[in-house]
Amino acid sequence: MADATEETRLYPPSKEFVDQAYVKSRDEYEKMWKQSIQDPETFWGGIAKELHWFKPWLKVNREEFAKGEVEWFIGGKTNISYNCLDYQVEKGKGDKVAILFQGEPEDDVVKLTYKEMLSMVSKFANVLKKKGVRKGDRIAIYLPMIWQLPVVMLACARIGAVHTIVFGGFSAEALRDRILDAGAKLLITTNGYWRSGKNVSSKANADIACDLCAAQGHTVDKVVVVKRLEKFEVPMKAGRDTWFEDEVAAADITDNCPAEMMDAEDPLFILYTSGSTGKPKGVLHTVGGYMVFAYSTFKYIFDYKDKDVFFCTADIGWVTGHTYIVYGPMCNGATSIVFESVPTFPNPDRFWQIVEKFKVSTFYTAPTAIRALMKEGEKWPQGRNLSSLRLLGSVGEPINPEAWLWYHKYIGSEKCPIADTWWQTETGGILITSLPGAWPGKPGYATLPFFGVDARALQSRADAKQPAVDAPVNEQGELCIGRSWPGMMRGVFGEPERFFNTYFVQQPGFYFSGDGALKDENGYFRLMGRIDDVVNVSGHRMGTAEVEAALNSFNTAVAESAVVGFPHEVKGEDLYAYVILKTGVEGSDALKKELVAHVRKEIGPIASPGKIQFVPGLPKTRSGKIMRRILRKVASGEIDQLGDTTTLADPSVVDEIVKGRQ
């Protein structure tokens, strides 16, 4: 277990890192942050001028924030595909590698320069136009992590088509729901892809989804299929299905496709995220503000320099991949890695092998992945040369101090700052993070708001007429934002009232994130997980993330845990802990008692789990998000109300959890 002093001490960046950083001190940050809040016209106008605009904006922003009405770069005309491609070529980066694709097979590497990407994107944009796609049309993309995915995205953006990317691991039903909601008439998919040594078919699910759409009166007119696997036959429907390769090679398809002049507030993409109602929300992002925010967050938070090789392990099917594999890196002229496979195939050092092979300088991954690799032991990263790394990042959920320290020691060799980032699909880019050269990191803390982000941890309000009150230092509040920022979502597609009711009602005058957070004496934010993951035990509010952190810190035995509340006739609610043990550790009643004692020691008796269940895995989406709804249902005994589990990475885990229920 980590020493308690290790978890509470501050970890400053090295002098070498500070000397080359864009922001070198907290004082410098504070001055920039204050200007970004008090004078956004000057601050964001200055950053936006680093990008290409066909026509300058008339005003940087206008908002009636309490109503959820927001506009940025009003009257400006631009195109994000132009900024990612043409503008980089104009700046002399045409021969620089833009997308570095590593397939699951070790020898399957494709390097596409900015010139080559511009040519391929322009060709596919012309394919879309030939098929009748026009500005404002929605295009559904159902592709795995292959190099054609960023090509297709940028082609849509080039002609003003609105892309909605559906994660390649989603079911046919999930794909159907998103096609129907977006009203997409064209679908792009692939014949198949590699996953852990096996060939997986995307086309089969795509065909089912198209049939399900037709049954509900919606026809998908055209399906373009990427031939990812050479010897993997799939049925092709005459008149509807065509091959991507044939389309871009056609004689009448040229690589000259002028970028559409897009208004800053024109739609760029829709990305569906789960909502409390169970119906996915179509989060809508627009061109100008999202572009400026993706560009600036990538530049400053990852302290991007021209020689850097950037490796974000997310899937482009999620917002992290949109912003920090494609749009953010390419607006900065960076080299960005697209990786097809999983971190543990063929061995648990696959990430580290890629870092070594391509001399990766910046590595951005999820705590879920870090904990999974921790479980396999230190020998794997120690067997690889990770000396090229200069900065690490964490994304997707609060990182527990134990994982932070392991990441710092074994991946960063105690020399790489860690940017622990908090943001959401709705925010478009990172909102709370360290600027790695400006102040020390603290295990488990995302630290401070990015420029333009007025973040507050507020006490809950029983009455909307009450004034907003900040939670006391080191006490959990509701994480809210007090004004707009450029990358903020502009609405829920097709449901304008849902946007206001979801984000602007709970804390009037603020964007309500739905996450809990506390601020320490340094002003650092620590994310505590979803507010609906707060359990009331005997009148005491208990953040489940805090209990999970305590369990995970028993690192001689525990690889990962998830804690939820369940009804208790005396306490109101009690805590139910699902615990994954490290390889070689046997579960026993004695170990359960040790874990309870450890949690009592770390937090106090009130946090002691009433039940502990040892499980082989947790119900997660492919992006690593734990589906706590399912865990709460199992803990409460409502095993006949688990709902749809088809979107999980491994639905069979749920059956094992139900069998072992305490």
SS3 for 325-353, per residue?
HHHHHHHCCCEEEEECCCCCCCCCCHHHH
Residue type, 104: E
Highest mean pLDDT among 429-443, 455-469, 608-622, 629-643: 429-443
| pLDDT of 253 above 80 | yes
Domains of the chain, by residue range, sit at: 112-263, 538-659
Question: What is the domain class of 538-659 according to CATH?
Answer: alpha beta
**What are the DSSP calls for 349-369, one per residue?**
THHHHHHHHHT-SEEEE-HHH
DSSP states of 77-110: EE-HHHHHTHHHHHTT-TTSEEEEEE-SSTT-EE
**pLDDT(242) > 70:** yes
Over residues 397-416, the pLDDT tens digits come to 888 899 999 999 999 999 99
User: Residue 38: CA atoms inside 13 Å, Cβ hemisphere, count?
Assistant: 6
Per-residue confidence (pLDDT) for residue 367, from 0 to 100: 87
What would the CATH number be for the domain defined by 112-263?
3.40.50.980
- Please compute the mean of the pLDDT values over residues 209-225 and round it to a whole number: 97
Residue among 582, 635, 629, 628 at smallest CA distance from 612 = 635
Decide if pLDDT at 483 tops 70: yes
Report the C-alpha gap between 515 and 527 in whole angstroms.
7
pLDDT value at 533 more than 80: no
What is the tally of helices (H) and strands (E) in the chain? Answer: 23, 32
The pLDDT value recorded for residue 276 is: 45
Query: Reduced to 3 states, what is the DSSP secondary structure of residue 378?
Result: coil
Within its chain, how far is the Cα of 453 from the centroid?
18
Residue 471 has pLDDT above 90, yes or no: yes
pLDDT of 645 strictly over 80: no
Report d(CA 273, CA 294) in Å as an integer.
19
What is each CA distance from 208 to 90, 223, 235, 433, 577, in whole angstroms? 44, 13, 12, 42, 38
Mean of the pLDDT values across residues 637-660? 84
User: Average pLDDT in the 322-327 region?
Assistant: 98
Interval 64-91: pLDDT, tens: 999 999 999 999 999 999 999 999 999 9
ω before 346 within 30° of 0 (cis)? yes
The mean per-residue pLDDT over the stretch 532-544 comes to 68
Interaxial angle between packed helices 40-48 and 287-301, expressed in degrees from 0 to 180 and rounded to the nearest 10: 80
Residue 438: the pLDDT is 97
- Model confidence over 494-503: pLDDT tens digits? 998 999 999 9
Let me know: does 383 contact 375? Beta carbons within 8 Å. no
| Entry pTM | 0.86
**Which segment of 51-60, 148-157, 267-276, 606-615 scores lowest on mean pLDDT?**
267-276
The confidence band for 336, taking pLDDT boundaries of 50, 70 and 90, is very high
pLDDT band at 539 (very low <50, low <70, confident <90, very high): low
Average pLDDT, the chain: 93
Angle between helices 114-130 and 148-159 (to 10 degrees): 60
